[in-house]
Amino acid sequence: MRSVTKRFGGVLALSDVSFDVPEGQVLGVIGPNGAGKTTLLNCISGVNRLDGGEVHFAGQRISGRRPYEVARLGIGRTFQIVKPFASMTVRENAAVGAVFGSAQARMATAAAFRYADEVLDLVGLAPKRSLPVGSLTVPDRKRLEVARALCTKPRLLLLDEVMSGLNAVEVDEALEMVRRVHSSGVTIMLIEHVMRVIVGVCAQAVVLHLGRVLVAGQPAEVLRDRRVVEAYLGERYASRHAVGGSG
């Protein structure tokens, strides 16, 4: 990802954002509200068009391509505000992902339903597979987002705040799910507010602030960085508590 820029009218949502997502890793993107995290995912997945810069994936330029093309190349994503297909059951939602999805997915319906069952097992939704999505709880809907994205057989999975709104126990369960997904061989880039998640599963972390990359590096170091604390909690808090770091 090189010099990615996105404007909404006069607002510069992303400005000159550059970083890499190493294959096989879990990369965390954090930042305060309005930092441009979700816009970044929209720019990668083709939902938003870039105003500048380029995004490359597996040697191909994907910026400027439409969402379905990006999906075919093997990038799956979830939405922070979940977007289930409301008239379908849990199982059908997941299966649709496998019917379409990346070049490796695109299964016939019967195979898609079988694969959906495997994935629902992985994310822990198997017992609820026959329910309409309307009857799912918030954590289960977030799991379903992950399941549908996983059914597209992505090489890179973009997770947009799948842990927000969950309580401590549910976050633990979700963390366990992310680890399982990662160990099944999927590269993950996740956006998160919950610091515990970043430290818990990410090998690398990138901090966005006001549309720019503030710091990037090891999660534990990043979180101690003075600039990060300032961005989240304000300058006064940072100087009073004198949290070391490189700032």
Partner 1 sequence: MAIETAEPATPALGSFAVATAAARRRERILYIVAAIVLAVLIVIPLSSLDAVQAAGLPLVMDRYWFRVTTLIAMFVIIAGAWNIIGGLTGYPAFGNVVFFGIGAYTAGTLITRASLPYATAVVGAVVVCAAVACVIGLPLLRLRGHYFAVASLGVAVATGEVINNVQFFGGASGIFMPIIRSDLLFYYLMLGGAVLTVGTTWLVLHSRFGFGLIAIREDEVAAGVIGVNTTRYKVAAYMLSAALTGLAGAIYAQWNVFIDQSTAFNLDVSIDSILMVLIGGIGTIFGPVIGAAALEFLIQTFAGSGELAVWTQIGLGVLLTAAVIFLPRGIVDFFGGRSSFTREYVRRTLRETGV
Give the footprint of partner 1 on this chain (CB under 8 A).
Answer: 45-47, 66-68, 70-72, 76-77, 79, 83-89, 91-92, 96-97, 99-102, 105-106, 109-110, 113, 127, 130-132, 148-149, 151-152
Cβ proximity to partner 1: between 16 and 118 the closer is: 118
Q: Is the dihedral of CA 130, 83, 122, 72 positive or negative?
A: positive
CB of 6 to partner 1, least distance (A): 17
CB of 108 to partner 1, least distance (A): 8
The candidate with the shortest Cα–Cα distance to 184, out of 194, 176, 192, is 176
Cβ proximity to partner 1: between 17 and 94 the closer is: 94
CB of 64 to partner 1, least distance (A): 15
Residue 75 to residues 89, 124, 135, 137, Cα–Cα distance (Å): 24, 22, 28, 26
Cβ proximity to partner 1: between 34 and 67 the closer is: 67
The residues with which 2 forms a beta bridge, in sequence order, are 54
Q: Is the dihedral of CA 212, 217, 221, 223 positive or negative?
A: positive
Distance CA 36, CA 237 (A): 23
Cβ proximity to partner 1: between 153 and 209 the closer is: 153
Quick check: 151 and 97 in contact, CB under 8 A? yes
Cβ proximity to partner 1: between 91 and 209 the closer is: 91
State the Cα torsion 154-156-161-162 to the nearest 10°: 40
Cβ proximity to partner 1: between 144 and 228 the closer is: 144
Distance CA 48, CA 64 (A): 9
